[in-house]
Structure 1
């Protein structure tokens, strides 16, 4: 199981899924709906990916 806690200050969202790809897909959806001002550029995507932990 993979887990990602939202990196945006003040947001307590947590995403869990079986694979990193699933977590990233859910993170993209979360960012679009909850943080539309967040730009998902390569640097941000890499920061998100590196914050995923194995649980």
Structure 2
């Protein structure tokens, strides 16, 4: 059984969107390495969102 194509496209799209890496580079990563990069992107987004929530809004 192969790797589910829908999940593969989702992973590649997510990393490409955030890091702007070329398709061929992303496809050359194995699944575990792509998942690791996704985890790092999630951490970055969580830190950014947390910082935005703690910044007061001024009128």
Tell me whether the two structures share a fold, i.e. TM-score over 0.5.
Answer: no
| Structure having the larger proportion of residues in helix | 2
Length-normalised TM-score, structure 2: 0.37
| Structure having the larger proportion of residues in strand | 1
Length-normalised TM-score, structure 1: 0.39
Structure of higher RCO (CA pairs closer than 8 Å, 6+ residues apart):
1
Larger Rg: 2
